[in-house]
Amino acid sequence: MTNEEVNPPVKRYRLNPKSGTLMEAPPKPLFLRGPIPMDWLSKASDLPGKTLHLAMALWWLNGMSKGEAFKLTGKALDLLHVSRDAMRDGLNRLEQHGLIRVERKTGQRPVITILNR
């Protein structure tokens, strides 16, 4: 299955103020919300493998959750090309270095809290 078969594109519309009709709105680009503490990022960048890629995915999700605990999504991993094995290793590394807290429940996605220091 292709990505479009799993997640079909959603058309978004906006009101044209001049004509009063709905027109298709272009998709908004994704962005990473900051600030991201450089010392936190520096510690994550010292860790091996795809840990830094995972860390960026976590900060992207953290920005959308407005700093609250959030579930790690497949979309975030796919955007930054992080496999499930790399995710598991990266979560363990970030947790061991005190950068995140992970709540794991069998059969569910991990719930992440980023620890700002």
Helix (H, G, I), strand (E, B) or coil at 103: strand
Predicted TM-score (pTM) above 0.85: no
Please report the pLDDT score of residue 15 as a whole number.
Answer: 87
Please report the pLDDT score of residue 23 as a whole number.
Answer: 87
**Helices 51-64/84-96 angle, 10° precision:** 80
Q: Which CATH class is domain 30-114?
A: mainly alpha
Please report the pLDDT score of residue 47 as a whole number.
Answer: 96
Please report the pLDDT score of residue 8 as a whole number.
Answer: 63
Query: Where exactly are the structural domains of the chain?
Result: 30-114
Please report the pLDDT score of residue 3 as a whole number.
Answer: 52
Q: Tell me the per-residue pLDDT of 1-26, one tens digit each, with 9 for 90 and over.
A: 455 555 666 788 888 888 888 888 88
Is residue 117 very low, low, confident or very high in pLDDT (cuts 50, 70, 90)?
low
Q: Tell me the per-residue pLDDT of 51-104, one tens digit each, with 9 for 90 and over.
A: 999 999 999 999 999 878 999 999 999 999 999 999 999 999 999 999 999 999
CA distance 62 to 67: 5
Please report the pLDDT score of residue 34 as a whole number.
Answer: 86
Please report the pLDDT score of residue 11 as a whole number.
Answer: 80
CA distance 54 to 106: 21
